[in-house]
């Protein structure tokens, strides 16, 4: 609570009691999370025994009435399938010999088929690098002259089994380009850390996205790769399945600026359909240091989603396997950093996080610190009003419960 104490000093008189009262109030109030509150999460690596390993990571999150399946794979470009079913008993079925064949259609199934309520996929297709010298940082402006992109379909990945951590329900894909003539990735890695959750919470690391048991987090980190210019910006191309004829929508939400995400007033989300649906959610911020902080924060810009011809994108066998070949793809670009300020060039480090899930995306509530500051700003009369209102409200509730018992 050191930052809190500092704030208190800045705000003048500050008794601990209002803070305590308000944090109690906050913990007592429901978070308003929909969906299943807890899930039994298991991580399973489905291996083909080939070298280099082409692993499938199956995350199965079982709730009372539903199961979420996340299937992450480094077969082709790194991709994830998200399948939500309305039974706690649905299973994933994989036929490896068919999956690695030239026509993988039908080799990956979630059964029973009629339990599927929602399914879609994300494919991480290309890593871009731009020369941002002489470019302006105005929003919507191109990030600079592009260098030849790195195709994530031509990456070599680690054996995911070695990074599997059942305690944190996480695993990390670490990869580097198979062909690396300039040696840029000689000691560099692109790491994608996947983490599932059995209940709601918030990680210690910024941007501290609020997660629920209905979500899975991806943290993308580029570490140690030698940039091709002095002011290189990196970008990631993400493809997804659209519903005919539209692409999923991307929404920008104003968000509360608080201790969890200082100076980030926005929450971006991609929604596949009308609510409740599948979603991707992220804060438009990336970090140039492992210890993400306000000092190492960089902007993250997302381009609009556009329909894309499938043959222009590296193809994902797991997407073909599950959805077949007749698909509408939509793609967008994320760009991390700006030509000025902090950048990848500082420490050859860059990280960015997102949540993938189904249902209603988690929404931030006011944090105890912000409520505390409000309480101090309102002062004692405001608090008394608040307490009075609460007393009336609860009194009324008790009264009505008492009556209903009668």
The residues of the shown chain that bind ligand NAG, judged by CB under 6 A, are: 36, 47, 49, 51, 53, 64-65, 95, 97-98, 128, 133-134, 146, 159, 161-162, 229-230, 237, 303, 306, 331-333
Query: Least distance from C-beta 262 to ligand NAG, angstroms?
Result: 29
DSSP 203-232: -SSTT---B-TTEEEEEEEEESPPPSSTTE
Nearer to ligand NAG, 162 or 252 (CB): 162
CB 226 within 8 A of CB 243: no
Nearer to ligand NAG, 214 or 219 (CB): 214
Query: Least distance from C-beta 228 to ligand NAG, angstroms?
Result: 8
Query: Least distance from C-beta 97 to ligand NAG, angstroms?
Result: 5
| Nearest Cα to Cα of residue 227 among 148, 129, 337, 338 | 129
CA angle 138, 141, 146 (to 5 degrees): 130
Query: Least distance from C-beta 35 to ligand NAG, angstroms?
Result: 8
CB-closest chain residue to ligand NAG:
53
Query: Least distance from C-beta 372 to ligand NAG, angstroms?
Result: 34
| Polymer length in residues for the chain | 406
DSSP 8-state class, residue 186: T
Nearer to ligand NAG, 185 or 332 (CB): 332
Nearer to ligand NAG, 17 or 230 (CB): 230
CB 117 within 8 A of CB 68: no
Nearer to ligand NAG, 10 or 304 (CB): 304
Nearer to ligand NAG, 219 or 237 (CB): 237
Query: Least distance from C-beta 264 to ligand NAG, angstroms?
Result: 23
Nearer to ligand NAG, 65 or 243 (CB): 65
CA angle 231, 232, 236 (to 5 degrees): 155
Q: Encode 347-374: b = buried (16+ Cβ within 10 Å), e = exposed.
A: ebbbbbbbbbbbbbbbebbebbbbbbbe
Q: What is the CA radius of gyration of the chain?
A: 23
- Identify the burial level of 234 via C-beta atoms within 10 angstroms of its C-beta, where 0-12 means exposed, 13-18 middle and 19 or more buried: buried
DSSP 76-114: SSEEEEEEEESSTT-EEEE-HHHHTSS--TTSEEEESGG
Query: Least distance from C-beta 319 to ligand NAG, angstroms?
Result: 16
Structure tokens at 18: 């209002």
Query: Least distance from C-beta 104 to ligand NAG, angstroms?
Result: 10
Nearer to ligand NAG, 208 or 342 (CB): 342
């Amino acid at each position: 609570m050191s930052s809190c104490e500092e704030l208190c000093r800045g705000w003048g008189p500050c008794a601990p009691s209002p803070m305590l009262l308000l944090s109690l109030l906050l913990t007592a109030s429901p978070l308003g999370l929909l969906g299943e509150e807890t899930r039994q999460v298991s991580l399973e690596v489905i291996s083909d025994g080939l070298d280099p390993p082409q692993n499938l990571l199956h995350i199965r999150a079982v709730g009372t009435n539903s199961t979420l399946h996340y299937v992450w794979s480094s077969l082709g470009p790194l991709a994830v399938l998200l399948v939500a079913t309305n039974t706690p008993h649905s299973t994933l079925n994989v036929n490896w010999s068919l999956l690695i064949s030239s026509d993988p259609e039908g080799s990956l199934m979630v059964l029973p088929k009629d339990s599927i309520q929602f399914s879609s996929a994300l494919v991480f297709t290309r890593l871009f690098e731009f020369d941002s010298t002489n470019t302006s940082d105005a929003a919507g402006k191109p990030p600079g002259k592009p260098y030849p992109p790195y195709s994530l379909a031509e990456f070599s990945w680690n054996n995911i089994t070695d990074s599997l951590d059942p305690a944190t329900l996480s695993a990390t894909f670490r990869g580097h380009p198979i062909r690396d003539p300039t040696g840029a990735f000689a000691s560099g890695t692109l790491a994608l850390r996947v983490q599932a959750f059995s209940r709601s919470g918030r990680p210690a690391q910024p941007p501290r996205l609020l997660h629920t048991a209905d979500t899975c987090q991806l943290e993308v980190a580029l570490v140690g790769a030698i940039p091709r210019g002095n002011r290189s910006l990196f970008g990631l191309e993400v493809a997804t399945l659209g519903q005919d004829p539209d692409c999923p929508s991307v929404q920008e939400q104003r968000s509360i600026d608080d201790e969890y995400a200082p100076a980030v007033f926005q929450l971006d989300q991609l929604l596949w359909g009308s609510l409740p649906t599948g979603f991707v959610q992220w804060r438009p911020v990336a970090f140039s240091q492992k210890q993400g902080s306000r000092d190492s924060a960089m902007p993250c810009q997302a381009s609009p989603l556009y329909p894309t011809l499938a043959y222009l994108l590296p193809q994902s066998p797991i997407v073909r396997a599950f959805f077949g070949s007749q698909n509408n793809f939509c793609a967008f670009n994320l760009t991390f950093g700006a030509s000025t300020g902090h950048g990848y060039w500082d420490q050859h480090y860059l990280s960015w996080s997102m949540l993938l899930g189904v249902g209603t995306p988690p929404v931030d509530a006011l944090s105890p610190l912000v409520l505390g500051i409000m309480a101090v700003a309102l002062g004692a009369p405001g608090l008394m009003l608040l307490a009075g209102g609460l007393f009336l409200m609860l009194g009324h509730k008790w009264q009505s419960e008492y009556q209903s018992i009668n």
